Structure 1
Amino acid sequence: MDRYLLSEMLLPFLGGVGAFTTLVMAVSSLFELVRLVVEAGLSISVALQVFLLRAPGIIVLTFPMAMLLATLLAYGRLSADSEITALRACGVSLYRLVVPAVLLSLLVTALTFLFNELVVPVSNRQAALTLNRALNRYPDFRRENILYQEFGEILTPEPDGSFSRRQGLTRQFYARSFDGQEMRGVIVLDVSNEALSQILLAQRGRWDPRENLWVFEEGTTYIVSPDGTYSNIATFSRQELRLSRAPLDLAQEVRSPEEMNIPELRRYIEVLASSGDLQRVRRLQVNLSQKYAIPFACLAFTLIGAPLGLRPQRTSSSLGLGLSVLIIFAYYVLLFVSQALGQIGTLGPEVAAWLPNFVCLGIGGALLYRANR
């Protein structure tokens, strides 16, 4: 019975992947590339290459949609041919009938997660690079006004000669320009010790990956006393400082969340968090949580599609496709709303990412319970 039910779902699943992929790619990618070919002079060969590189990211989005369509059509066909009635007459419960669909959805969930981690970020990144090079756009790194703020522990002198500690802004890094290798017009303000602040101005600065430190050239260091006077001024032709490489990461990382896997996105969030850009951190935390939550939409859609297909009435393929589109539309509307609420801080990142799944699971569980009565 399990093999039979799985075979009934396999063909609609593959057909759903093909149908939904064609639809989504036409809407989200094809129209844009055609416009670029006509208006920006993008060559057809490059447009085709970008179109194919974007395909994995779109295909993986259709897996949950295809699971919904597969369960609707498979169980709908079995119900219309009275095979569900025959199985129930043999003592098979509706809960047991849904088990193969749930197992298949978990397999597709794992496949979706692996695809999102191993294939989609690389293909999306390559598509963006290919398109930018063809259009003479190079947004691979931030070229001007790199500003990084570092927060940590500040030492405050006490009257008895001791130091108290508090949290706050400890260091500010600014570079006027960046060419991908070297920063120019660098200013480093260190206020981690209120008794003695330090200002470093350098014409050039670069990161040495072998020594894990910054190398500044042609600059001046100012030591500022608490009363605002300069207690020491020293010029240098080369100076090495063990500062965080986060300013370099901040300048180099301009990729979207779709171009990063979970470890890369988590590391970038840490860089932004230490810089104090909390609003952007909140948005990326929602994206990070969605990388875990969206694959489980396969299970949520399965638990909705199976009881709807089990209804004792005849359904056509066109009706199943139309019902799938309505459910998918409602899901993504809820996803966008919860994502927006998470980004503005109304909901936590995890709640915002998982809320659509929880709603679908609740509806699916209620439908299955009602169908089994």
Structure 2
Amino acid sequence: MLKIIDKYILRRYLATFSVMLLLFIPIGIVIDVSEKVNRMIEKKVPFGEILLYYVDFTIYFANLLFPIFLFLSVIWFTSKLANNTEIIAILSSGISYKRFLRPYFIGATIVSLFTLIMGFFLVPKASKGFNDFRYQYLKGSSAQSRETNDIFRQISPNEVIYISNYNYLSETGFNFIYEKFEGNVLKERIQANRIKYDKKKKVYKLYNYKKRTIGELDDKLISINEYSKKFNFEPEDLTPVVYIAETMTLGELFDFIDKEKKKGNANINTYLVVLHKKFSLPVSAFILTIIAVSVSSMKRRGGMGVNLAIGICIAFTFVFFDKVFGTLAEKSSIPPVVAVWLPNFVFGILAFYLLRNAKR
């Protein structure tokens, strides 16, 4: 008897979630096409690239709105069970509320593992295709996707550079500073009003070049209008694309973050937010499932509409908090691990509270 009920609920859980995705993704594609079709025609985008873009868009869109789809699907089919008095019949037969939740947890585990694997391997590739297409055809310039202001990099354990502004297309930087240390002691400092990369010779040309070599008793100063020099960095190292972390698999992301920490990248929090979200999003499947079941397992006078209204409010509140705290982690001093996991913690407390009342 219990196995039949488990299979029934689990099948409804997975089927409703799948149908919800299949219903909303085409709507998202239609809206996106209506907004971008004029731009695509102006740019004469090849049809094959448009098709690949919408394959990537489907994966990216589904991953982005996964919490809402899951929450609404659980609310939907559980409300139908409640309105048909199926839940009352199940609990009246002597099955505990905790045992009733087992197929929901099995379903959440399946969805979480699927989301985890997608986030590690499939979503990064889709994110790269999705964002590359947007910046190449829809936003006018690939340079807009670059970090170009106040660039600080540690290019070796004892060498640091700074550029106030960098033009990715012309590979030219302004207000360049290079400093070399021995321990905590500054030994060499180079300044230039402008720096430009020479692709043929693979050197950097420095204009209004000034070099100070610091000695024990006095300093040595050199000033030249134009000077060519090799440095231990490439132009690509200066301006990684803003969405680069989203395009990496888990192993690549760990290596990239470690590398950028050593460089002293000021945008490291952005990359850490992406890393933590790969793990926090699957965990949210369990929290949202508990909240959805607790809210919708009770038969209400207003019927399914009341449960859906409550569910939509909670789902969008969760997504709102997730986005707000993610942005705060990127732009402020809030630790990314705290900002990313705080919505799960808060809604986890709400899930516990609702579940305890639902049992009663």
Q: Could you tell me the TM-score, scaled by structure 2's length? A: 0.76
Distance 1:217 1:360 in 2: 52
Distance of 1:37 and 1:107 partners within structure 2: 38
2:311 is equivalent to residue 307 of structure 1: no
Uncovered stretches (5+) of structure 1, i.e. residues with no partner? 155-169, 208-213
- The aligned residue for residue 19 of structure 1 is 23
Shift of 1:111: 0.7
Judged with a 3 Å threshold, the aligned counterparts in structure 2 of structure 1 residues 36 and 305 are, in CA distance, closer, same or farther, namely same
Letter in 2 for 1:115: M
Of 117, 120, 125, the match for 1:117? 120
Q: What's the C-alpha RMSD, in Å, of the aligned pairs? A: 4.2
Give the stretch that moved more between structures: 252-261 or 113-122.
252-261
Q: Deviations over 1:7-47 (max 9, x none)?
A: 222332122112332444455x3343235246x44548354
Distance 2:358 2:71 in 1: 17
- Assess if the C-alpha contact under 8 Å between 2:300 and 2:306 holds in 1: no
Matched with 2:35 is 32
Q: Return the alpha-carbon distance in structure 2 between the equivalents of residues 178 and 10 of structure 1.
A: 46
Q: Secondary structure at the match of 2:300?
A: coil
Asked if the contact 1:186–1:205 (Cα under 8 Å) also holds between the matched residues in 2, the reply is no
Does the C-alpha gap of structure 1 residues 173 and 198 become closer, same or farther in structure 2, counting only changes over 3 Å? Answer: same
Q: Does 1:287 align with 2:278?
A: no
Letter of the 2:128 counterpart: R
Counterpart of 2:329 in structure 1 is 342
Q: Any residues of structure 2 matched to 1:244-259 within 5 Å, and which? A: 245=233, 248-259=236-247
State the one-letter code of the partner of 2:6: D
Segment of structure 1 superposing worse, 289-298 or 263-272:
263-272
Change (3 A) 1:108 1:192: same
Name the SS of the counterpart of 1:192 in structure 2. strand
Deviations 1:291-323 (A, max 9, x none): 221222211110111112210336755555444
**In structure 2, how many angstroms separate the alpha carbons of the residues matched to 1:329 and 1:145?**
34
* 2:261 counterpart letter in structure 1: A
Report if the CA contact (8 A) 1:146-1:251 is conserved.
no
- The amino acid that maps onto 1:70 is S
1:95 equivalent to 2:98? Answer yes
CA distance in 2, matches of 1:144, 1:63: 32
Structure 2 segments unaligned to the other structure (5+ residues): none
Deviations 1:160-219 (A, max 9, x none): xxxxxxxxxx43266977679x98999773421347426599975679xxxxxx974899
1:260 aligns with 2:248: yes
Deviations 1:235-281, CA, capped at 9 Å, x for gaps: xx99877x4x5764333545344333344444444444344443x22
Identity of paired residues, percent? 19
Per the alignment, residue 153 of structure 2 pairs with 149
Alignment counterpart, residue 192 of structure 1, candidates 181, 184, 203: 181
Deviation at 1:108, TM superposition (A): 0.5
